[in-house]
A = this chain, B = another copy of it.
Amino acid sequence: MPTDPAASAEAVAATLAAIRARAPLIHNITNFVVTNTTANALLAVGASPAMVEGAEEVADFAASADALVINLGTMSAPRAHAIRLAVAAAEAAGVPWVLDPVAAGAIPTRTDLARTLLAARPAVVRGNGSEILALAGGAAAGRGVDSTAAAGAGLDAARRLATQARVIAAVTGATDYVTDGTRTIAVTNGHPMMTRVTGLGCTATALIGACLAVQRDPLAAAAHGLALLGVAGEIAAARARGPGSLQVEILDALYTLDAVALARMARIDRV
């Protein structure tokens, strides 16, 4: 197995330390189910989140942010318009951005919007297997917003999508894969109960945004964001009785996470 400097607990810890030191401003345009939990996850990890989606406000705000997070859940025409304005402003200003193509493959308008946005070259696109497969041109489509795709199919699709769209593609599931088409990192942290908390995929994308703000290598940023959430999820699951306490404990774990815990728990490898 090849080694990769980004694929280590030390590299994850360095990214976390940089977030806490710099408190990067993360501009989120996200779905209304997860605005609160996304903002809280970003605050817990040490970033400075802002949820701004007014059409008159987004361009200036995105241009001044350290990273932009675009999430297609609960889409509406005004939000789609705001997203286009924000993405254009971020591109012009050199602000890195990450795309979460919620329900691509399951809802045709989302697939279309995700494809349009991919053409604008996000640094990273993160989705579940069904979403990544749909964007890579695969046949399998999700039902609802959760993934129905098999994990191995996800990695192949992510490699294809990364190559086609020239982005970093991150496909999450029991194992998370992050790839640029040739270089691939796997993260095997996390816990099955995390699928019973709404919006943790959206949280993963937002944490990738925080990492992008302080880490110039977008593949490393994506892998580190997923490792942070995965390790926090494991710490939380050991204390939680169910998905209610799991959500609470994940925020606490993101806040208290340190290099020692990461060294002991992070499972991040070049594959």
By a beta-carbon cutoff of 8 Å, the part of chain A in contact with chain B is: 25, 31-37, 39-40, 43-44, 48-54, 56-57, 60-61, 64-65, 73-78, 103, 107-110, 143-146, 195-199, 240-245, 247-256
Given A61-B107, A242-B251, A247-B248, output 19 extra A-B contacts at Cβ < 8 Å. A31-B51, A32-B51, A33-B51, A40-B247, A43-B198, A43-B243, A48-B146, A53-B74, A54-B75, A54-B77, A56-B109, A57-B110, A241-B256, A242-B254, A242-B256, A243-B255, A244-B247, A244-B249, A245-B251
**Known contacts A25-B144, A51-B74, A143-B64: A40-B242 contact under CB 8 Å:** no
Q: Is the CB of B252 within 8 A of A245?
A: yes
Copies of this polypeptide in the complex: 3
Q: Is the CB of B255 within 8 A of A251?
A: no
How close is A159's CB to chain B, nearest CB, in angstroms? 28
CA distance A251 to B154 in the complex (A): 30
User: Could you say which residues of chain B place their CB within 8 Å of the CB of A250?
Assistant: 244
Q: Is the CB of A144 within 8 A of B198?
A: no
User: Could you say which residues of chain B place their CB within 8 Å of the CB of A56?
Assistant: 109
The chain B residue with its CB closest to the CB of A45 is B196
CA distance A53 to B76 in the complex (A): 8
CA distance A103 to B53 in the complex (A): 13
Q: Is the CB of A54 within 8 A of B33?
A: no
CA distance A240 to B198 in the complex (A): 22
How close is A234's CB to chain B, nearest CB, in angstroms? 15
A44, A65, A244 — which one has the most chain B CB atoms within 10 A of its CB?
A244
Q: Which 8 A-B pairs have the closest CB atoms?
A: A244-B251, A242-B252, A242-B255, A39-B198, A244-B248, A33-B35, A244-B252, A25-B144
CB-contact partner of A107 in B60, B244, B247, B253, under 8 A: B60
User: Could you say which residues of chain B place their CB within 8 Å of the CB of A244?
Assistant: 40, 44, 247-252, 255
A109, A146, A255 — which one has the most chain B CB atoms within 10 A of its CB?
A255
A-B contact pairs, 29 of them (CB 8 A): A32-B51, A36-B198, A40-B197, A40-B198, A43-B197, A43-B198, A48-B144, A50-B103, A50-B144, A50-B145, A53-B74, A54-B76, A54-B77, A54-B109, A57-B109, A60-B107, A65-B144, A76-B78, A242-B254, A242-B256, A243-B251, A244-B248, A244-B250, A244-B252, A244-B255, A245-B251, A245-B252, A247-B248, A247-B251
